Chain A
């Protein structure tokens, strides 16, 4: 998961990495403690500059104008909910440094270029980046940095060296998947500063990364999916606010495949969900939560559940399903199809029948999809 630039810079500042002064603003009438200022849209994706999400303002009038525009725009599907107001920096040169986990090789990809700036994606720019794979240890990455720096021109080398070593330490300490600084500002007085930061974190490492967990916990509106996983241990993502079919499913791959197949059939799934039945532990509250979120969908007209139970007992699951449904009566007006397969199917049937069959059971997934999508037609 990518941190917003503002939060990433806060983390780096805490580790004595120099960053330009800046504050977070979320409302269109915010004022800047300094002018001129750079107004930077805070979204977890690259290419903000090219999308018009970064502007320089000289006056309060320009600032208000920029805030109004940026705070109502979307960049690559992400709503801009906040901007960072940053003090412009006078620099001699812009460079580039990044460290990334390279999944294929199990190594760390070290990339350094004396010339940075926005267009590092440009193939002509790419040729100027020195790229090396290092073994996944701080010491191996440090010696790789030394090797690379020898190949660079003298100007700015001292600052790049200091920057690369300090950032490599952060990469390992925070267990980052990607830490990219573009540009690294090379300043006139022998110092340097991190101009922009892309910081991708490993959610699996959060239990032992208190500083990052704290950022997510105190900024749940910016990181709703990660906060959910951190708090509750499962995944739920609204894919299409106007979607008409809600999904209560388990398993990331099969849930993703279901979204694909329904979309391919011409339907609009409302959400992705990997509810993880293993985490229920006899308590329906996770189901209640998911049912409420689905009931919130303004266009929901059919619900499809899919439980391929490896370890879960379907009889016990059915008891929880019924209990949860009792607590979310608004979902009862929607036809629910439950595909159940695994141990305890007969008990599940009995439990659901005893409750007056609030959900229709199918054992075959194709048939369950047919039924759930047929329910859409009927509801229309």
Chain B
């Protein structure tokens, strides 16, 4: 269920709220309805825009009962922030910072696993239940309440995909960006259980790309779990040249899988519909899923 991951109204703290980006992002999230109850900054005390600032997550959680954290700190400080959050009992950590070193991400995975928290990111635009709660900066123009579960690696590509779906009347039940880093807190397959029995989610939209093997792993999990809702996947990077990193660092480390062909084959074998053009994916989803404005045949 989606509520196992994130719920409307849950108390949220922001690590790095006193920074320029932290302040701006927090204001945007509050405007969207996110219940931001505290900020954390090792140097600052007092408040920012009426939000109390604490030195550590433990202090902030003790005073406010915050359950989730959004991390907006410089790349080399993300690991320390995750350590602080994990130690405080925060159960959902969303790190939107880009450029976290990969060895730091390895260490952070160990930390969050030990604490039992869920870590989304790094380099993620965040997650949202449209109209209810936004952790991060998914653009409002691409968000609308609806019945699609969305998981994406690339921020911008998912904005475009969701924008086209929204303009066809198709919104999201939950949208989670896992980020484009190779080592990350939560991978596509880890998200499947939240959508599986969720009554709000009719179909899954997967925005994937070349590199790594999250798409292959997701395909295997879909088969193992007997996930029966329709799955629509877009895969970017068909023309990417070997050895050239195009923005995301994902492609270079493991060379055994990660090609578009391997992802496409795995997803198709799991019953997913796979597309290379955004427009074709959007059209196929629209044909298959009931839009709130115009009830149609229910599939799955």
Contacts and interface: CB of A to CB of B under 8 A. Distances in A.
B276 A264 contact: yes
B130 to A, nearest CB: 15
Contact of A106 (B109, B125, B138, B155): B109
B276 A106 contact: no
B278 A256 contact: no
Contacts of A261: 276-278
A253 B103 contact: no
B239 A253 contact: no
Given A256-B247, A310-B139, A263 B183 contact: no
B107 A256 contact: no
A347 interface: no
A366 B125 CA distance: 24
B284 interface: no
Interface residues of B, number: 61
A274 B247 contact: yes
Contacts of B105: 106
Contacts of B212: 103-104
Q: Would you call the interface of chain B mostly helix, strand, loop, or mixed?
A: loop
Interface in A263-310: 263-264, 272, 274, 308-310
Given A106-B106, A175-B101, A261-B277, 12 more contacts: A77-B241, A107-B106, A177-B182, A203-B249, A225-B244, A239-B239, A253-B157, A253-B158, A254-B157, A256-B154, A256-B236, A257-B157
A254 B103 contact: no
A260 B236 CA distance: 7
30 contacts: A45-B242, A76-B242, A102-B254, A103-B183, A106-B109, A137-B107, A175-B101, A177-B102, A177-B182, A202-B101, A203-B249, A205-B101, A239-B239, A251-B155, A252-B180, A252-B248, A253-B152, A253-B154, A253-B156, A253-B158, A253-B209, A254-B236, A257-B234, A259-B239, A260-B237, A264-B276, A264-B277, A308-B156, A308-B159, A366-B279
Interface string B269-282: 00000001111000
B296 interface: no
A250 B160 CA distance: 12
A108 B139 CA distance: 36
A45 B243 contact: yes
Interface string B3-42: 0000000000000000000001000000000000000000
Contacts of A203: 249
B75 interface: yes
Closest 9 CB pairs of A and B: A253-B154, A251-B156, A252-B247, A253-B157, A136-B106, A254-B156, A205-B101, A106-B109, A310-B139
Nearest to A43: B243
B253 interface: yes
Nearest to B250: A103
A325 B77 CA distance: 37
A250 B247 CA distance: 10
B137 interface: yes
Contact of B75 (A102, A204, A256): A204
Interface in B278-294: 278-279
B245 A1 contact: yes
B48 interface: no
Nearest to A253: B154
Interface in B152-187: 152-160, 163, 180, 182-183, 187
A244 interface: no
Contact of B76 (A107, A208, A254, A255): A208
Interface string B135-152: 001110100000000001
A193 to B, nearest CB: 26
A205 B159 CA distance: 28
B138 to A, nearest CB: 8
A264 B238 contact: yes
Contacts of A1: 245, 252
A178 interface: yes
A149 interface: no
A220 interface: no
Interface of A: 1-2, 44-45, 76-78, 100-104, 106-108, 135-137, 172, 175, 177-178, 200, 202-205, 207-208, 225, 235, 237, 239, 250-257, 259-261, 263-264, 272, 274, 308-311, 341-342, 365-366
B276 A260 contact: yes
B200 interface: no
Contacts of A365: 160, 278
Contacts of B62: none
A285 B30 CA distance: 34
A365 B213 CA distance: 29
B254 A136 contact: no
Nearest to A104: B213
Contacts of B107: 136-137
Nearest to A175: B103
A261 B160 CA distance: 14
Contacts of A106: 105-106, 109-110, 183
A272 B125 CA distance: 21
Contacts of A2: 243, 252
